[in-house]
Amino acid sequence: MDKNNERECNEDLIRERRKCNFNIEELTNIVDGGKARTARRREIQRLLINDPEFLDEIPQDYMSHEDRYSNELRKSAHLMQKLADQESGHDIHQDIGALTGILKDGNPLMVHLSMFIPAILGQANSEQQEKWLGRSLRNEIIGTYAQTELGHGTFVRGLETRATYDPTVEEFVLHTPTITATKWWPGGLGKTCNYCVVMAQLYTQGRCYGPHPFIVQLRDEETHRSLPGITLGEIGPRLGLNSNDNGFLKFENHRIPRTNMLMKHSQVLKDGTYVKPLHNKLSYGTMMLVRVGIVGACSRSLQYAVTIATRYSAVRHQSEIVPGQPEPQILDYQTQQYKVIPQIASVFALIFSARSLSKIQSSVTAKLKDGNTDLLPELHSLSSGLKALSSSDASWGVEVCRLACGGHGYLASSNLPRTYTGTTCAITYEGENTVLLLQVARYLIKSYRSIGKETGASSVSYLADQTSLASSSSSFSNKALVQAFKLSALSLVAEAEARLQKLCDMGQEFYHAWNYCSVLLLKCAEAHTRYYICEKYEQTVDSLKASEGVKNVLQSLCRLYLIYHITLTHGDFLKCGALTPRNIAVLEGEMCDLLAVLRPQAVSIVDAFDIPDELLGSTLGCWDGNVYQRLYDEALKSPLNKTDVPDAYYKYLLPLMKSSL
Ligand SMILES: CCCCC/C=C\C/C=C\C/C=C\C/C=C\C/C=C\CCCCC(=O)SCCNC(=O)CCNC(=O)[C@H](O)C(C)(C)COP(=O)(O)OP(=O)(O)OC[C@H]1O[C@@H](n2cnc3c(N)ncnc32)[C@H](O)[C@@H]1OP(=O)(O)O
Ligand SMILES: Cc1cc2nc3c(=O)[nH]c(=O)nc-3n(C[C@H](O)[C@H](O)[C@H](O)COP(=O)(O)OP(=O)(O)OC[C@H]3O[C@@H](n4cnc5c(N)ncnc54)[C@H](O)[C@@H]3O)c2cc1C
């Protein structure tokens, strides 16, 4: 599609684009993280879009379960080959966003890339990396990350799979003692992978040392048949991601060499002596890494959904605002703006906090190399909180975008249902959100109780700022609003701590008191993480060196985000005195003004996300706004439309209709 050729474009969209008052390319660079990144993303996307191998012969929704898997595996393999062939080399971690949309419904190699390789990088010592890293990067072996079991996903310490060391032959014996110990869920495990990283309880010298990672060959490298002592299969259809082969795995006293335990952090020596790690949660490192990645992935899902919903809202006309006048664009309804525009604001919130989290992760990783684990708990808390809020915000945002598109949003061809199922899974995987938020709460209560002790953790230093509890502000700058978020979080933490203490003083054990307060604790974790996101948003926009137009748009979006979230949880702001009822009423009014200010820029802002039609894959969100023709053309692809009268009519309907004659 030639974006300069207005003649092919829907007239509403032409008019919308003419209202643009900022430099779209500049905003695109901010979204990508710099001009070079934009160029790199476009180069990769061009490479993919122009390749006919990525086309589906028929829409995936009409394929059988086997064909969906096979078709996606074909494209995934081609993608890996293509990226590996590039002369300039590649860094999938940096480029992973460019691939969004090319593989449509969960691909069988995703966990190989996003967890198996990172597990080798983060958990294997240098000799082990030498043995397995190159082979996995060259796709000579394909792996997954097998942790979750039928009986335990959340509670990693409760895993049942055993790895028992036998010093006589220097081997571990992997065993699945019960049905509930069956590994269940790992992506690509069913049919694709021939290796995997297994998390199993380590037993040596008669003691259990908890869950540790082991690399295990599952299938013969020549025949791809599963090895003796190993039972493998696929777990069946899911809400979404059905082109992946999420699998199950059982071990029957399967032996692996001692050196297959990933030994970067802890070791089992030849005689069975256990050498403990610097920090006993380092074996959870792969999960933490992926949680950081998920924040960025969620921002991309939301970019897709909001691009579709905004363009469609500009093209779609319905009902009337002024009686008797032509039907307006649905984007002119304030309620529609309230659905769509806060989601645009949310995209930037997620982008900026993902970047900030990535920086913290890099510095913690660098410190870890020097043996310093001091900031690991803070990274665990931040990555848990941001993974939880980004996945729940994005899932809700995508669903709101679907609702904003009315009936057509329910069609598969809008690409909103698949975007939703591909986002909501992130609420559950890589640590179920409630559970992760309770980890954040645990860290908050602990930090609150150790006020005065220097920990170096900056994200919770505000908990020591007791004076702010009394200082409600009368100013309404963005900074002042961020202060209100801080006050709300601080006051919730103080309330939860006091409630916990009171229950303990009344004789309850701490863990019972914890469970009894856990709804409030969840609120603390959400408020703390929201404060973090708001603070990063405000700081990033404030310090941005950008043209006036771009800066204005981002300032308005940031302000909208702050006010939107205040209004959603206004009770907490009132309760702690950070804001008064009058303040809230004023802010609610301002939110409507902001919607009106941003309304004319909405299409141009989503244009700045720069998602090619081929990747957006949506009849409703296409660049040219030719929505109705596309909907019609897609409907014609239904196999039911191959014949006027389907066979099922003769088999079932005709006998029914004639039965009473
Ligand atoms: C070519 C190169 C390729 C490179 C590619 C590179 C990178 C890719 C990167 C990203 C990919 C990008 C995007 C990804 C997008 C999509 C992802 C695709 C696929 C994902 C598929 C999903 C896979 C999975 O789901 S795997 C299974 C995940 N499972 C879980 O997450 C389980 C959740 N449970 C837990 O984590 C734990 O059980 C727990 C809830 C944390 C509790 O643990 P427990 O041991 O019981 O601890 P306890 O509560 O008692 O606390 C004790 C103490 O420990 C602290 N703690 C806990 N965890 C950590 C940690 N990780 N680090 C530090 N500290 C930790 C805790 O706070 C307590 O501290 P204290 O006592 O209070 O002081
Ligand atoms: C699409 C998808 C892909 C996946 N891919 C992989 C993979 O590649 N590898 C892998 O190993 N796993 C994978 N998983 C598994 C995933 O990591 C787990 O499903 C997830 O960690 C949640 O664990 P669970 O299913 O045991 O849920 P449960 O823990 O049983 O959760 C059920 C409910 O119990 C609540 N609950 C549990 N514990 C607590 C608590 N302590 N306090 C309060 N409430 C609690 C939860 O909040 C939730 O409401 C995948 C899952 C999905 C859906």
The CATH number linked to 208 is: 2.40.110.10
Residue 656 is classified by DSSP as: H
Verify that 201 and 316 share a domain, yes or no. no
Verify that 54 and 156 share a domain, yes or no. no
Write out pLDDT tens, residues 306-319.
Answer: 999 999 999 999 99
Helix H or strand E segment including 273: none
pLDDT at 116 (0 to 100)? 97
Q: Tell me the average pLDDT of the chain.
A: 94
In the block, residue with structure tokens 């894959």: 617
Average pLDDT over residues 151-159: 97
Write out pLDDT tens, residues 591-624.
Answer: 999 999 999 999 999 999 999 999 999 999 999 9
Average pLDDT over residues 41-63: 92
Last residue of a domain, one of 561, 580, 606: 606
**Beta carbon of 148 within 6 Å of any ligand 1 atom:** yes
pLDDT at 291 (0 to 100)? 97
Binding residues for FAD: 148, 187
Verify that 92 and 200 share a domain, yes or no. no
pLDDT at 312 (0 to 100)? 98
Relative to the alpha carbon of 192, which ligand is closest? 2
Verify that 226 and 304 share a domain, yes or no. no
In the block, residue with structure tokens 């989503």: 606
Residue 83 has pLDDT above 90, yes or no: no
pTM: 0.96
Relative to the alpha carbon of 137, which ligand is closest? 1
pLDDT at 451 (0 to 100)? 84
**What's the complex ipTM?**
0.96
**Beta carbon of 147 within 6 Å of any ligand 2 atom:** yes
Last residue of a domain, one of 258, 277, 296: 277
**Beta carbon of 431 within 6 Å of any ligand 1 atom:** yes
Residue 92 has pLDDT above 70, yes or no: no
**Beta carbon of 84 within 6 Å of any ligand 1 atom:** no
Write out pLDDT tens, residues 543-587.
Answer: 999 999 999 999 999 999 999 999 999 999 999 999 999 999 999
**Number of folded domains that form the chain:** 3
pLDDT at 457 (0 to 100)? 80
CA proximity to 312, closest of 635, 599, 626, 633: 626
pLDDT at 469 (0 to 100)? 53
Residue 216 has pLDDT above 90, yes or no: yes
Average pLDDT over residues 627-641: 97
Verify that 305 and 431 share a domain, yes or no. yes
Q: Which of 430, 497, 535, 538 is catalytic?
A: 430
pLDDT at 468 (0 to 100)? 61
614 part of a folded domain: no
pLDDT at 111 (0 to 100)? 96
Write out pLDDT tens, residues 472-499.
Answer: 556 689 999 999 999 999 999 999 999 9
User: Of all protein residues, whose CA lies closest to atom 4 belonging to ligand 1?
Assistant: 93
471 part of a folded domain: no
pLDDT at 454 (0 to 100)? 74
Q: Which of 214, 429, 442, 514 to mutate to test the pocket of ligand 2 (most atoms within 8 A of CB)?
A: 429
| Centroid of ligand 1 to alpha carbon of 293 (angstroms) | 12
Token pair listed for 399: 């669903």
How many CA atoms, within 13 angstroms, populate the side-chain half-sphere of residue 332?
A: 14
User: Of all protein residues, whose CA lies closest to atom 41 belonging to ligand 2?
Assistant: 435
| Centroid of ligand 2 to alpha carbon of 153 (angstroms) | 5
> Among 5-14, 151-160, 178-187, where is mean pLDDT lowest?
5-14
pLDDT at 87 (0 to 100)? 53
pLDDT: which is higher, 224 or 97: 224
Ligand 2 atom with least separation from CA of 430:
17
Average pLDDT over residues 86-100: 65
**Beta carbon of 397 within 6 Å of any ligand 1 atom:** no
Verify that 271 and 319 share a domain, yes or no. no
| Centroid of ligand 1 to alpha carbon of 146 (angstroms) | 13
Last residue of a domain, one of 606, 625, 654: 606
395 part of a folded domain: yes
| Centroid of ligand 1 to alpha carbon of 430 (angstroms) | 6
The CATH number linked to 390 is: 1.20.140.10
Verify that 58 and 129 share a domain, yes or no. no
Verify that 237 and 381 share a domain, yes or no. no
Relative to the alpha carbon of 283, which ligand is closest? 1
**Beta carbon of 430 within 6 Å of any ligand 1 atom:** yes
Token pair listed for 486: 């801080």
Q: Give residue 420's region: left, alpha or beta (phi > 0; psi -120 to 50).
A: alpha
User: What one-character-per-residue DSSP string does 616-655 give?
Assistant: H--TTT-TT--HHHHHHHHHHTSGGGGSSS-HHIIIIIHH
Verify that 412 and 339 share a domain, yes or no. yes
Residue 282 has pLDDT above 90, yes or no: yes
Residue 609 is classified by DSSP as: T
387 part of a folded domain: yes
User: Of all protein residues, whose CA lies closest to atom 16 belonging to ligand 2?
Assistant: 429
Residue 94 has pLDDT above 90, yes or no: no
pLDDT at 8 (0 to 100)? 83
| Centroid of ligand 2 to alpha carbon of 195 (angstroms) | 23
**Beta carbon of 185 within 6 Å of any ligand 2 atom:** yes
612 part of a folded domain: no
Verify that 413 and 557 share a domain, yes or no. yes
Active-site residue flag, 495: no
pLDDT at 637 (0 to 100)? 96
Verify that 100 and 179 share a domain, yes or no. no
Report in angstroms the alpha-carbon separations of 104 from 49, 76, 505, 617: 13, 10, 54, 9
The CATH number linked to 63 is: 1.10.540.10
pLDDT at 99 (0 to 100)? 82
Binding residues: 148, 187
Distance of alpha carbon 323 from alpha carbon 302, whole angstroms: 35
Verify that 235 and 352 share a domain, yes or no. no
Residue 370 has pLDDT above 80, yes or no: yes
**Beta carbon of 511 within 6 Å of any ligand 1 atom:** no
646 part of a folded domain: no
User: What one-character-per-residue DSSP string does 526-585 give?
Assistant: HHHHHHHHHHHHHHHHHH----HHHHHHHHHHHHHHHHHHHHHTHHHHHHTTSS-HHHHH
Average pLDDT over residues 149-166: 98
User: Of all protein residues, whose CA lies closest to atom 8 belonging to ligand 1?
Assistant: 114
Q: Which of 117, 192, 435, 522 to mutate to test the pocket of ligand 2 (most atoms within 8 A of CB)?
A: 435
CA proximity to 430, closest of 194, 234, 156, 245: 156
Residue 86 has pLDDT above 70, yes or no: no
User: What one-character-per-residue DSSP string does 368-387 give?
Assistant: HHTT--TTHHHHHHHHHHHH
Relative to the alpha carbon of 518, which ligand is closest? 2
Distance of alpha carbon 43 from alpha carbon 356, whole angstroms: 26
List 254's β-bridge partners, or say none: 174
pLDDT at 168 (0 to 100)? 98
Residue 602: domain span: 286-455+476-606
**Beta carbon of 434 within 6 Å of any ligand 2 atom:** yes
Single-letter amino acid code for the residue at 322: V
313 part of a folded domain: yes
79 part of a folded domain: yes
The residue length of the chain stands at 661
> Among 96-100, 442-446, 578-582, where is mean pLDDT lowest?
96-100
